[in-house]
Chains A and B, each alone.
Chain A
Amino acid sequence: MALDLSMPVLVVDDYKTMIRIIRNLLKQLGFDDVDEASDGTEALGKMKERRYGLVISDWNMEPMTGYELLKHVRADTGLSKTPFIMVTAESKTENVIAAKKAGVNNYIVKPFNAQTLKGKIEAVFSD
């Protein structure tokens, strides 16, 4: 899967500042088409309306968490192939393992830097 900088990216986080940070970092990396959602429910609705090339999601949100969103996405035949990166402060081993088992493509522990985000996006699209 090739990395296409023109693909639409969906950033899911309930903290507006974090969306702004990720949006700015993505812009620095060359991504211009960045959309946002404040929880899993809103994200799922947007994903059913538009085909995103990448989803970058927080874990801990209400009402639907990023973990639930991931499981919904992987269970939906129309969305299941969407690359999904979890960016979260949830840093227990069981979180990492659960996310991997649920089919996440990569996992970034907050706080993170631009280099880590860049590296994980590149890793997802080089697989």
Chain B
Amino acid sequence: MAPASPEQLTHIVDFLRRERRDLSLEDVMVLAERMAATLDETMARVDTLLHDEFKSIVGEIATLRRDIGGIRPDHMRFERIPEAGRELDAVVEATETATVAIMEAAETIMAADTSDPEAYKALVDDKMIVIFEACSFQDITGQRIRKVVRTLGWIEERLGQLSQRLKFGEAEALHVHETDEERRQRELILHGPQMKGEGVSQDFVDDVFATSDQDAIDKLFD
């Protein structure tokens, strides 16, 4: 039996409402069969729709896998980022070694006996050479930092491409959970050093401490 369209079913229901006194068991059976057939076709259409949707989702996941693969996460996680970390550790170590060498030289000069001018000059000359040698750290640390900057650029470029393909916007970013470290930094006002021209100057600080007018200080926040 062919399935009835929604319009046909509406006509049948209207007919039954008007003529229900003559309704026979056979009429009810015919109607039930027609409605069952209609339901079968509807379900078949839903099946096809769901199948298409799932196929589309699978396609999206495959694209996403390809995009994530494109940023080479393992290369980033196990090579580029650890290497950048080692470079920065080396920078910290080199600057600390240089600073200690310079300070030791300066402390030796400050504590030196000046009663013998010739001996004192020889000592100062000797320590000046130590200071010059220590300052050579800047060349190496400069190269190391440039390597780290290149790595950051590489990561930024790939994450930018991925974000563009995923159409990842600020709305999604707003739902990112604040980490304990981020919360600590916010609550304890930990910003770290500012770039040149961005932080306040010592003169500004002195102005703040020169005034006891709390209202004037509060206005700085406006």
Q: Does A90 lie within 8 Å of B221, measured CB to CB?
A: no
Main secondary structure of the interface of A (DSSP, over half): helix
CB of A50 within 8 A of chain B? no
- Choose from B106, B194, B220, B221 the contact partner of A91 (Cβ within 8 Å): B194
Q: Does A93 lie within 8 Å of B220, measured CB to CB?
A: yes
- Choose from B100, B107, B191 the contact partner of A17 (Cβ within 8 Å): B100
Residues on A with beta carbons closer than 8 Å to the beta carbon of B38: none
Residues on B with beta carbons closer than 8 Å to the beta carbon of A67: 188-189
- Choose from A90, A109, A123 the contact partner of B191 (Cβ within 8 Å): A90
Residues on B with beta carbons closer than 8 Å to the beta carbon of A94: 189, 221
Q: Does B103 lie within 8 Å of A20, measured CB to CB?
A: yes
CB of B199 within 8 A of chain A? yes
The CA-CA distance from A107 to B208 in the complex, in Å, is: 10
The contact sample of 29 A-B pairs, CB cut-off 8 A, is A17-B96, A17-B103, A24-B107, A24-B110, A65-B188, A67-B188, A67-B189, A89-B192, A89-B194, A90-B190, A90-B191, A91-B194, A91-B199, A91-B200, A92-B189, A92-B194, A92-B199, A92-B200, A95-B189, A97-B217, A100-B209, A101-B217, A106-B209, A107-B205, A107-B208, A108-B205, A109-B201, A110-B193, A123-B209
Residues on B with beta carbons closer than 8 Å to the beta carbon of A89: 192-194
Q: Does A97 lie within 8 Å of B192, measured CB to CB?
A: no
Total residues of chain A contacting the partner, CB 8 A: 29
CB of A35 within 8 A of chain B? no
The CA-CA distance from A24 to B99 in the complex, in Å, is: 14
CB of A60 within 8 A of chain B? yes
On A, residues with C-beta under 8 Å from B are 17, 20-21, 24, 59-60, 65, 67-68, 89-98, 100-101, 106-110, 112, 116, 123
Interface string of B83-110 (1 = CB under 8 A from A): 0000000000000100110010011001
Residues on A with beta carbons closer than 8 Å to the beta carbon of B194: 89, 91-92
CB of B202 within 8 A of chain A? yes
The CA-CA distance from A94 to B217 in the complex, in Å, is: 10
CB of B204 within 8 A of chain A? yes
Residues on A with beta carbons closer than 8 Å to the beta carbon of B103: 17, 20-21, 24
Q: What's the minimum C-beta distance from B110 to chain A, rounded to whole angstroms?
A: 8
Residues on B with beta carbons closer than 8 Å to the beta carbon of A116: 202
